[in-house]
Amino acid sequence: MTDSTAASLPPMGDAPPPTHSQAAHINTGLEVAGRIAATAFGAYIALTSAVGISLGLHAGEGWLAIIYGALGVSMGVGGMVGVWMKGALRGALLGWFLVGVASRAIVEGDAYLAFISFPIAFVLLSALVFELLYQRSAAKALGAAAGGCLAILALPALAVTAPSMPAICSSAAAFGSSQSVVFPYPATTLFDAAEERYTERCYTPIPPPP
């Protein structure tokens, strides 16, 4: 073996660096896996939010459960669609999805315990930061900011308006039956004012006329 041939060989024990095509293939595989994972998680959020609407109506939450669940469904669908989009639309949908679900996890921390909900919110927000840093785009960043702001404002806006919405009363017998299991939805103290108003309207006995 000549000196020139030996110099061209990599050192013993060191793997050669991946070629450009190999690196591109790895990045493509990771991107596809991320899209599949985000689609599955978005479907889970949308499905559980739709089920929550039914549970909330049974518990007497009325329009609060409908709108809160519909927001969750829209966030889940936004995540499912957003990962397959590009540019500002991708950023807006992923901002709505990731910031929205993180916000819901935080406000529901009193029900699911902070040591569960806060780490979930941290992971989701970290995923959004990674998305914005990976293949940086000003349009995508602006879209994510807009979608995230709307997701954050949606919950306090619902908390303010929900008490004035008309009550949708469930069956009083079903509500009070020992054989009926009731799951409040949404399960957070943020909407206590609305829930108390609905309970007052639906379950306070009406005095007989004089």
Whether 186 is in a domain gets the answer yes
Higher-pLDDT residue of 151, 191:
151
Whether 17 is in a domain gets the answer no
Whether 45 is in a domain gets the answer yes
Least confident of 98-102, 120-124, 135-139: 135-139
pLDDT over 80 (residue 3): no
Whether 177 is in a domain gets the answer no
Calpha distance 121→10 (Å, rounded)? 45
* CB proximity list for 95: less than 8 A, separation 6 or greater: 128, 143, 144, 145, 146, 147, 148, 151
Whether 174 is in a domain gets the answer no
Q: Which of the given ranges, 31-40, 107-116, 171-180, has the highest pLDDT on average?
A: 31-40
Q: Give pLDDT, residue 197.
A: 87
Whether 8 is in a domain gets the answer no
With bands split at pLDDT 50, 70 and 90, how would you rate the model's confidence at 32?
A: confident
State the DSSP string of 130-195: HHHHTT--HHHHHHHHHHHHHHHHHHHHHHHHGGGSPP-PPPHHHHH-TT-----SS-SGGGHHHH
Whether 88 is in a domain gets the answer yes
Residue type, 62: G
Whether 15 is in a domain gets the answer no
Least confident of 57-66, 83-92, 192-201: 192-201
pLDDT over 70 (residue 21): no
Residue 145 belongs to domain spanning: 33-162+182-195
pLDDT over 70 (residue 10): no
With bands split at pLDDT 50, 70 and 90, how would you rate the model's confidence at 187?
A: confident
Q: Count the domains in the chain.
A: 1
What does pTM read for this prediction?
0.80
